[in-house]
């Protein structure tokens, strides 16, 4: 049976999404079959394009699922009138993936302000919208590159709100989704989760607060009793050198920058955003629309290439497990 293609959504057509997809497609070729969800008028005129259908034969150029947008795209100038098209591309890609016509989903970056202004978008971000479309109660954002995988327990909230946002339910659910996701999607039978402490030196035996001692440490013990390979809390300042990284498969961090600074330092261009906890495979580049460089031909496609390759590996892992 022929492998269904990977769905690629265009993101905001005024950003770099389409140009990095075309660069990635050129690099990867047809080793991984892909269908682009976009408007043909936003693509170069000389591009070899074939419209997708479930029984479409192999094609040497771009296979396109046509999404009609209101306006042409001007690089670097987001257009709220195109918001409906951006949203529909995501909705159609998710629907066809859920129906089995697509093997998984890789999304180019969206611009939330344009979606909010043009279509009343009510979700905090891409991931939450995908969770809604897939009826997933809780999902987890994991950033991954060849040398490190990290999960921020809390994401886009002020530092002052982090301690109160870290609850037993959030910690327990996140750790379980990480365990299940790495087992299913990355073929790691007993994934090793290393937990970063909230306070400096993981509270240093109570000298720098008691959050890690009174809350996080007992929660870890509870998960260990369930059979999860999870350790900590560890001092975050010693968790990310090469020797430390060799001892775990993913770092569960307490807040956004604690997780993202090390991975962006190690591999700024090649990081991939993976959504764990969805019934479908979803990856995306770990960057935004980059309006400031859109259309200039200088956007780095490395993260998109890695996002596509990672999605393909996850799809294979799920297929092999069944």
Token pair listed for 21: 């997809």
Residues 7 and 128 in one domain: yes
Nearest-angstrom CA–CA distance, 271 and 79: 28
Token pair listed for 297: 């031909």
Residues 13 and 131 in one domain: yes
For position 177, which CATH number holds? Answer: 3.40.718.10
Nearest-angstrom CA–CA distance, 219 and 205: 17
Q: What is the pLDDT along the chain (322 residues), one digit of tens a residue?
A: 478 999 999 999 999 999 999 999 999 988 899 999 999 999 999 899 999 988 776 677 899 999 999 999 999 999 999 999 999 999 999 999 999 999 999 999 999 999 999 999 999 889 999 999 999 999 999 999 999 999 999 998 999 999 999 999 999 999 999 999 999 999 999 999 999 999 999 888 889 889 999 999 999 999 999 999 999 999 999 999 999 999 999 999 999 999 999 999 999 999 999 999 999 999 999 999 999 999 999 999 999 999 999 999 999 999 988 7
Note whether residue 272 is domain-resident. Answer: no
Q: DSSP readout, 203-253?
A: GGGGBTBSHIIIIIHHHHHHHHHTT-EEEEEE-GGGSSSHHHHTT-SEEEE
Domain carrying residue 156: 147-266
Q: Which of 266, 296, 313 is the last residue of a domain?
A: 266
Any idea what DSSP says for residue 20? H
Note whether residue 75 is domain-resident. Answer: yes
DSSP percent split of the chain into helix, strand, coil, nearest 5: 40, 20, 40
Residues 21 and 56 in one domain: yes
Any idea what DSSP says for residue 322? -
Note whether residue 112 is domain-resident. Answer: yes
The reported pTM is: 0.94
Is residue 133 within 8 Å of 94, Cβ to Cβ?
yes
Q: Which of 266, 298, 314 is the last residue of a domain?
A: 266
Nearest-angstrom CA–CA distance, 307 and 267: 13
Residues 19 and 71 in one domain: yes
Q: To 10 degrees, what angle do helices 168-185 and 217-225 make?
A: 40
Residues 38 and 74 in one domain: yes
Residues 225 and 307 in one domain: no
Write out the H or E segment, with its range, that includes residue 121. none
Please name the residue that has the structure tokens 């022929």: 2
């Amino acid at each position: 049976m022929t492998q269904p293609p990977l769905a690629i959504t265009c993101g905001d057509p005024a950003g770099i999404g389409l140009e990095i997809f075309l660069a990635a497609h050129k690099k990867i070729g047809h080793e991984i079959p892909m269908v682009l969800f976009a408007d043909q008028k936003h693509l170069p005129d000389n591009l070899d394009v074939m419209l997708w259908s479930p029984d479409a034969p192999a094609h040497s150029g771009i296979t396109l699922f046509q999404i009609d947008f209101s306006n042409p795209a001007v690089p670097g100038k987001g257009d709220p009138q195109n918001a409906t098209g951006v949203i529909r591309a995501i909705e159609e890609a998710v629907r066809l993936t859920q129906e089995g016509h697509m093997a998984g989903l890789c999304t180019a970056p969206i611009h939330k302000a344009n979606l909010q202004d043009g279509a009343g978008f009510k979700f905090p971000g891409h991931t939450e919208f995908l969770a809604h479309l897939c009826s997933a109660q809780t999902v987890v954002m994991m950033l991954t590159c060849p040398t490190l995988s990290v999960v921020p327990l809390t994401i886009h909230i002020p530092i002052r709100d982090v301690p109160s946002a870290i609850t037993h339910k959030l910690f327990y659910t996140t750790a379980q989704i990480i365990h299940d996701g790495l087992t299913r999607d990355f073929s790691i039978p007993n994934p090793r989760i290393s937990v970063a402490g909230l306070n400096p030196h993981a509270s240093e035996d109570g000298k720098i607060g008691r959050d890690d001692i009174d809350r996080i440490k007992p929660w870890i013990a509870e998960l260990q009793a369930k059979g999860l390979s999870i350790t900590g809390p560890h001092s975050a300042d010693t968790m990310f050198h090469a020797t430390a990284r060799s001892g775990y498969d993913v770092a569960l961090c307490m807040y956004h920058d604690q997780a993202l600074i090390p991975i962006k330092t190690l591999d700024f261009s090649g990081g991939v955003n993976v959504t764990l906890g969805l019934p479908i495979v979803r990856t995306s580049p770990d960057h935004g629309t980059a309006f400031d460089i859109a259309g200039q031909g200088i956007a780095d496609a490395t993260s998109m290439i890695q996002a596509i390759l990672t999605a393909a590996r996850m799809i294979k892992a799920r297929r092999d497990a069944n």
